[in-house]
């Protein structure tokens, strides 16, 4: 009986996580669930955005399903010392699980091109996997400070950090079209110079069947929306990957369609890429598709159950056709959409 630790978090996190759990219970009745606190809700309840009891629960987890963390711009959480803020809880969670590679698929399913603001001929068939480095760069470097009118953060990467995430990207590309684009800013940054050198050297040493190219992040920000079909797997450092993946959400049509799997040393962490959406939290109208598709990634990557994962993804595509949510220009609220997914799971294939 695999144990799933759920961490609903803040804002719409509990709403979309509940939907994902409902779907998981349906396709995998043997799973057990244990809910724990993370983020602002955890700070309010336990004085810590990543409390010890949550940390302890991870020891026996087979996989972790996360909602979202964080408050609105004016939330009192944003005035706390940085380590006490909701976002720090999430970063500490990723670190504790050793999840150094964040897989963020960007897919336009057949028949869902109309949900994209792009011209249908541009959106059709898009299938990109963004592999975002998740434990390094400016997010984690201890060399950081704000002092009066001066502040700095440090972007630092080591060869082993670059190689482990690049391996994940090459491995993923081997199961796909065999193409990897490594994204950097090597025309300006030393850290990108090292990144580019190490990714290329690894390809030349161990992955000669992979077609690897290198592109600058500013150019990719334009090309990913104007010509998305040129990409198969994209691998990039933490901050670039964060920004490019929200941008890439434009292709399927909403942040609510962007799931992710964070993989590494131990149990995987499965999380939608969107935030806590304070503007719509508590209204029951959040699109739970990203959370539900993250649950599918949990089954595939966390538990090795690809059939169940495929079943969920197929049902989500059907539900998006029948009952699109408001962020996609439709009418469905969270419950209506989730019910449509549950119903579609009972529909025979074909």
State the binding site for NAD(+): 275-287
| 248 lies in the binding site for ligand IPM (CB under 6 A) | no
**Which position among 7, 277, 342, 344 is part of the footprint of ligand NAD (CB under 6 A)?**
277
Contact 67, 17 (CB under 8 A): yes
| 90 lies in the binding site for ligand IPM (CB under 6 A) | yes
Q: Coil, strand, or helix at residue 164?
A: helix
Interface mask (CB under 6 A) for ligand NAD, residues 72-101, using x and -? ---------------x--x-----------
- Give the range of 47-55, 105-113, 126-134, 269-277 binding ligand NAD by CB under 6 A: 269-277
SS (H, E, C) 28-40: CCCCEEEECCCHH
* Feature table: binding site for substrate: 94, 104, 132, 218
Q: Which of these is catalytic: 139, 157, 207, 231?
A: 139
Is 139 a residue of the active site?
Answer: yes
How would you classify residue 125: left for phi > 0, otherwise alpha for psi between -120 and 50, otherwise beta? Answer: left
H-helix or E-strand spanning residue 214: strand 211-216
| 279 lies in the binding site for ligand NAD (CB under 6 A) | yes
* Feature table: binding site: 94, 104, 132, 218, 242, 246, 275-287
**Which position among 87, 232, 237, 242 is part of the footprint of Mn ion (CB under 5 A)?**
242
Query: Considering all CA atoms of the chain, what is the largest pairwise distance in Å, rounded to the nearest integer?
Result: 63
286 binds, among ligand NAD, ligand IPM, Mn ion, none (CB under 5 to 8 A by kind): ligand NAD
Query: Looking at beta carbons, which pairs linking 110-117 to residues 24 or more positions away fall under 8 Å?
Result: 110/317, 111/317, 111/321, 112/252, 112/253, 112/317, 112/320, 112/321, 115/252, 115/253, 115/254, 115/257, 115/320, 115/324, 115/328, 115/329, 116/250, 116/251, 116/252, 116/253, 117/250, 117/253
| 87 lies in the binding site for ligand IPM (CB under 6 A) | yes
Give the contacts of 96 (CB within 8 A, at least 6 positions apart). Answer: 50, 55, 58
H-helix or E-strand spanning residue 43: helix 39-46
Interface mask (CB under 6 A) for ligand NAD, residues 239-268, using x and -? ----------------xx------------
The DSSP output letter for 302 is I
Contact 59, 267 (CB under 8 A): no
CA distance to 87, 273, 277, 294, 304, per residue, from 236 (Å): 21, 16, 25, 21, 26
- Give the range of 45-53, 72-80, 86-94, 339-347 binding ligand IPM by CB under 6 A: 86-94
H-helix or E-strand spanning residue 282: none
- Give the range of 1-9, 84-92, 141-149, 299-307 binding ligand IPM by CB under 6 A: 84-92
Is 231 a residue of the active site?
Answer: no
| 237 lies in the binding site for Mn ion (CB under 5 A) | no
Is 100 a residue of the active site?
Answer: no
**Which position among 116, 181, 276, 311 is part of the footprint of ligand NAD (CB under 6 A)?**
276
Provide the minimum distance between the beta carbon of 275 and ligand IPM in the complex, in angstroms, as a whole number.
6
Please state the separation of Cα 183 from the chain's center in Å.
Answer: 18
Q: Coil, strand, or helix at residue 204?
A: helix
161 vs 242 by CB, closer to Mn ion: 242
- Give the range of 85-93, 107-115, 119-127, 331-339 binding ligand IPM by CB under 6 A: 85-93
Q: Which of these is catalytic: 185, 207, 231, 327?
A: 185
199 vs 298 by CB, closer to ligand NAD: 298
Give CA–CA dist 185/65, Å, rounded: 33
Residues engaged in binding ligand NAD (CB under 6 A)? 12, 16, 68-71, 87, 90, 255-256, 271, 274-280, 286-287, 290, 327
Tell me which residues are annotated as active site. 139, 185, 218, 242, 246
* Contact set with ligand IPM (CB under 6 A): 70, 87, 90-91, 242, 273
Contact residues: Mn ion, CB under 5 A = 242
């Amino acid at each position: 009986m695999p144990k799933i630790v759920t961490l609903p978090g803040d804002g719409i996190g509990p709403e979309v996580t509940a939907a994902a759990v409902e779907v998981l219970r349906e396709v995998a009745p043997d799973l057990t669930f244990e809910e724990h606190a993370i983020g602002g809700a955890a700070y309010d309840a336990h004085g810590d955005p990543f409390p010890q009891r949550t940390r302890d629960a991870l020891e026996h987890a087979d996989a972790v399903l996360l909602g979202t963390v964080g408050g609105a711009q004016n939330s009192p959480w944003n005035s706390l010392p940085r380590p006490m803020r909701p976002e720090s809880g999430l970063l500490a969670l990723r670190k504790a699980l050793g999840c150094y590679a964040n897989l963020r698929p960007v897919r336009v399913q057949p028949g869902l091109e109309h949900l994209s603001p792009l011209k249908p001929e541009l959106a059709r068939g898009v299938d990109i996997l963004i592999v975002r480095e998740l434990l390094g760069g400016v997010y984690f470097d201890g060399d950081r400070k704000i002092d009066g009118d001066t502040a700095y953060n440090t972007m630092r990467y080591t060869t082993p950090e670059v190689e482990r995430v690049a391996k994940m990207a090459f491995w993923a590309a081997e199961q796909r079209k065999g193409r990897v684009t490594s994204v950097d800013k090597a025309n300006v940054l030393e850290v990108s110079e090292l990144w580019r050198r190490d990714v290329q050297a690894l390809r030349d040493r161990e992955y000669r069947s992979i077609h690897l190219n290198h592109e600058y992040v500013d150019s990719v920000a334009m090309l990913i929306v104007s010509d998305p079909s040129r990409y198969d797997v994209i691998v990039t450092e933490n901050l670039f990957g964060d920004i490019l993946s929200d941008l890439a959400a434009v292709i399927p049509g909403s942040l609510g369609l962007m799931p992710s799997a964070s993989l590494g040393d131990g149990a995987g962490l499965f999380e939608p890429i969107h935030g806590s959406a304070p503007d719509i939290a508590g209204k029951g109208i959040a699109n739970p598709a990203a959370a539900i598709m993250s649950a599918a990634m949990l089954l595939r990557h966390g538990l090795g159950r690809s059939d169940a994962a495929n079943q969920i993804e197929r049902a989500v595509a059907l539900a998006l056709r029948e009952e699109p949510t408001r962020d996609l220009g439709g009418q469905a609220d969270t419950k209506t959409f989730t019910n449509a997914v549950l119903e579609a799971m009972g529909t025979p294939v074909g």
